Structure 1
Amino acid sequence: MSDPTPTGASASYGAGPAATEPAYSTRPVAFRGPESLGGLLCILAGIAAGLSLPLDWLSDRDAGGWTLVREAFDDLDRVFDDGGWQPLAIVLGGGVLLLLGIALWLPARSHRFVGLLALVVSGVVTAAVLVPLVDADWDLGFFGPGFWCGIAVAVLGLLGSLKAVLTGPRYSSR
C-alpha cells in the first residue's frame, strides 16, 4: 500500500501552517496605554507629601515637615529609636510614589509591576502613618495639617497602587 503523503512532505499533519490559515493571529492583542487613574492618584500622593513639608505636623510643637525630615537625616543612626523614621518614610515615600505615578502614565501592556512597587511603598507609608496614630490613641487633635497631608499620601498611594495592580491588560478587537 502506498503512503498518501506526497514525496518530500512531512508525515505529521498540523506541523506547519495550512494553506488557508491567515498569517496573523485571530486572538485579541493587548495594546499599550497609560494607567491614567492609578498614575494620577500616585502623583497626587507625591504632591501631598510635598505640601506636608512647610506645614506643622504636631499641634503642640512648632515643627514643620522640613524640620522633622532634617532631624531624621541628622540622627540617621538612631532614626528607629525615637520615631524619626515616620516623617522620613512619609516624605520620601511620597517622592517615590510621584515618580512611580509618572511611570504609570507611560504606555505599557500592563502596569502591574510598577503598581506592585507602588503598593510596597504605600505599605511603608501607611505603617508610618498608623504608628503615630496608635501611639496617640487615635486622637486626631494631636496632629497638625502636615500629618493630615501624610495621611493623604498613604490613602492616595494605596488607592493608586491597587488600581494599577488590579487592572489587567486592555485588549483591542482590531
Structure 2
Amino acid sequence: MTQPEQSPAGATAASGGPPAATTPVYSAEPVPYRGPESLGGLLLILAGIVAAVSLALDWLADVDGTGWDLVRDGFEDLDAVVDNGLWQPLAVVLGGGALLVLGILMWLPARSHRFLGLLGLIVSGVIVWAVLVPLEDAGWEFDDFGPGFWCAIAVAVLGLLGSLKALLTGKRYR
C-alpha cells in the first residue's frame, strides 16, 4: 500500500488528485491585548489619596475636630453609627481605601477592566450617597462644611469618573 503524498502545508492529498486546501493556523480577526487602564486607575488612586487627606482636615466649619476624630468616633460607637450620622465619614474614608485598591488593580494588565469599573461604581455610589445626605440636611448650604468635606466631595467625583472610564472602555485591539 502506498503512502499518500504530503503537501508543503502539511495537508494530505488524495491519491493522484490536487493537494487538499488548508486553512491558516492564525486568525485574521484583531486580537485584544492585555494592558492597564491608566486614566481610570489614576483617578481612583487619586480618590483614595484625597480620602486619606480628608482625615487630617476639619469636616465641619463650626466644630473643632478632624476627619480622623469622626472616623474614630464612628468605629467606637459602631452600634449607633447610622443614628448619630457618623456613617458618612466612615463611608467616605473606607470607600476611598477601596477605590485606592481598585485603582492599583486597574494598573495590572487585563483585556478589560469593566468588572473593576463596576465595583468602583458601586463604591462610588455609596460615597456619593454619603456626601449628598449631609448636604441635603444642611439645605444645600456649603457654609457649614470645612475642607475635609470638600475632599469628600472630590473623592465622590474622582471615584465616579475613574469607575465610569474603566466601565465604558472595552477591549483594545492592536
Q: Calculate the TM-score normalised by the size of structure 1.
A: 0.88
C-alpha deviation, 1:50, in angstroms: 0.5
* Partner in structure 1 of residue 89 of structure 2: 87
2:76 matched to which residue of 1?
A: 74
Any idea what SS the aligned residue of 2:53 has?
helix
- CA distance in 2 between counterparts of 1:30 and 1:137 reads 49
Residue type of the alignment partner of 1:94? G
C-alpha distance in structure 1 between counterparts of 2:136 and 2:52, whole Å? 24
Aligned to 2:101: 99
Equivalence for 2:51 = 49
Gaps of 5+ in 1: 1-17
Q: Distance in 1 between matches of 2:124 and 2:44?
A: 9
* Equivalent of 2:114 in 99, 112, 115: 112
Match of 2:56, SS state, is coil
Secondary structure of the corresponding residue to residue 133 of structure 1: helix
> How many Å apart are 1:33 and its aligned residue?
0.3
Superposition pairs of residues 29-40 of structure 1, within 5 angstroms: 29-40=31-42
- Residue by residue, what CA displacement relative to the aligned partner does 1:64-121 show, whole Å, maximum 9, x if unpaired? 0100000000010111111110000000000000000000111000000001000000
With the length of structure 2 as denominator, give the TM-score of the two structures: 0.88
2:105 & 2:21 partners in 1: Cα distance? 44
Instruction: Tell me the amino acid that sits aligned with residue 29 of structure 2.
Output: R
Shift of 1:41: 0.3
Aligned residue identity for 2:118? L
In structure 1, which of residues 131, 134, 143 is the aligned counterpart of residue 133 of structure 2? 131
1:121-160 to structure 2, matched below 5 A, reads 121-160=123-162
Long gaps (5+) in structure 2: 1-19
Partner residue, 1:167: 169
Write the deviation string for residues 100-155 of structure 1: whole angstroms up to 9, x where unpaired.
00001110000000010000000000000000000001111110000000000000
Map of 2:8 onto structure 1: none
Amino acid at match of 1:86: Q
Q: CA deviation at 1:44?
A: 0.4
1: CA distance, partners of 2:171 / 2:85: 41
**How many residues in Structure 1 have an aligned counterpart in Structure 2?**
155
Task: Name the amino acid aligned to 2:49.
Answer: I
Offset at residue 20 of structure 1 (A): 2.5
CA distance in 2, matches of 1:161, 1:19: 49
Q: CA RMSD in A?
A: 0.8
- Write the distance in 2 (CA, Å) between the matches of 1:68 and 1:109: 40
Letter of the 1:72 counterpart: G
